[in-house]
C-alpha cells in the first residue's frame, strides 16, 4: 500500500465512529452494514477524496448519506409501516419521554430536506455550513431552510404542549 492509501485508511479509521453514530441514529438495525458499504464506496473512490484538511469527514458523511438513501429506497414499504405503527403508539406517562416523542414526531413531520438539515445540525453536531456541504447545497439556502424548519418545529411543538 502507498503512503496515500495508508493516510486514507487512517482517515477512515478516525472518522468511522462518527459515521457509525450518524447511521445508527437513522437506521439502527442496518447501521453496521451501511458503515461497511460506506467504507467500501469511499475506498473505491479514494482518488476522489478531498485533499483539504477536515473535508474528508464531510465527504464521508456525504457517501454515508447516499448509502442510507439507497437503503431507505429499498426498505420504503417497511419504513412506512413502522411510521404508521409509531403514530398509533400510546405516549408514556412520563412527561420527559412524551416530550421526546413529540420532538421526534415534529422532526419526522418536516419535509425531507428540512428534516435532514435539522438532524445533521442537532444530532450530528455539524454547523449549518458543514451540513450544507454534506447535503450538497450552499450555506445561504441551508440557513433559510433551517430557519423555516425551526419555525415549523416551534409551531408544531407549541400546539402539542397546548393539546396536553
Rounded-to-integer distance, Cα 38 and Cα 53, Å: 20
97 plus 36 within the same structural domain: no
Q: What grid cell was written down for 73? A: 429506497
Domain edge (last residue) among 89, 124, 151 = 89
Q: Tell which wins on pLDDT, 91 or 11.
A: 11
- Per the model's pLDDT, the better-predicted residue between 14 and 98 turns out to be 14
Same domain, 14 and 62: yes
User: Are 5 and 16 found together in one domain?
Assistant: yes
Q: How far apart are CA 150 and CA 155, in angstroms?
A: 9
Q: Are residues 84 and 97 in the same domain?
A: no
Q: Are residues 70 and 113 in the same domain?
A: no
Average pLDDT, the chain: 86
Q: Are 59 and 50 in contact (CB under 8 A)?
A: yes
Query: Quick one: pLDDT at residue 73?
Result: 86
C-alpha to C-alpha distance for 44 and 41, rounded to whole angstroms: 5
* Residue 99 pLDDT: 75
d(CA 164, CA 42): 47
Q: Residue 102's pLDDT is what? A: 81
Same-domain check for residues 33 and 108: no
The predicted model gives 145-155 an average pLDDT of 91
Same domain, yes or no: 19 and 74: yes
Q: How many domains does the chain have?
A: 2
So what's the pLDDT on residue 163? Answer: 61
Q: Are 81 and 102 in a shared domain?
A: no
Higher pLDDT, 135 or 89: 135
Residues 6+ apart with CB under 8 A from 164: 98
pLDDT at 101: 79
Regarding whether 104 and 45 lie in a shared domain, the answer is no
Q: Which three cell numbers stand for residue 58?
A: 464531510
Amino acid at each position: 500500500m502507498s503512503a496515500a492509501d495508508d493516510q486514507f485508511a487512517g482517515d477512515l479509521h478516525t472518522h468511522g465512529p462518527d459515521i457509525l453514530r450518524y447511521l445508527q441514529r437513522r437506521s439502527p438495525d442496518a447501521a453496521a452494514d451501511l458503515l461497511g458499504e460506506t467504507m467500501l464506496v469511499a475506498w473505491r473512490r479514494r482518488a476522489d477524496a478531498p485533499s483539504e484538511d477536515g473535508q474528508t469527514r464531510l465527504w464521508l458523511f456525504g457517501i454515508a448519506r447516499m448509502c442510507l438513501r439507497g437503503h431507505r429506497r429499498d426498505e420504503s414499504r417497511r419504513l412506512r409501516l413502522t411510521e404508521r405503527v409509531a403514530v398509533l403508539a400510546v405516549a408514556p406517562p412520563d412527561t420527559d419521554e412524551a416530550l421526546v416523542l413529540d420532538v421526534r414526531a415534529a422532526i419526522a413531520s418536516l419535509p425531507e430536506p428540512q428534516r435532514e438539515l435539522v438532524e445533521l445540525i442537532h444530532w450530528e453536531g455539524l454547523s449549518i455550513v458543514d451540513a450544507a456541504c454534506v447535503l450538497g447545497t450552499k450555506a445561504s439556502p441551508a440557513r433559510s431552510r433551517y430557519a423555516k424548519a425551526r419555525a415549523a418545529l416551534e409551531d408544531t411543538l407549541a400546539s402539542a404542549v397546548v393539546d396536553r
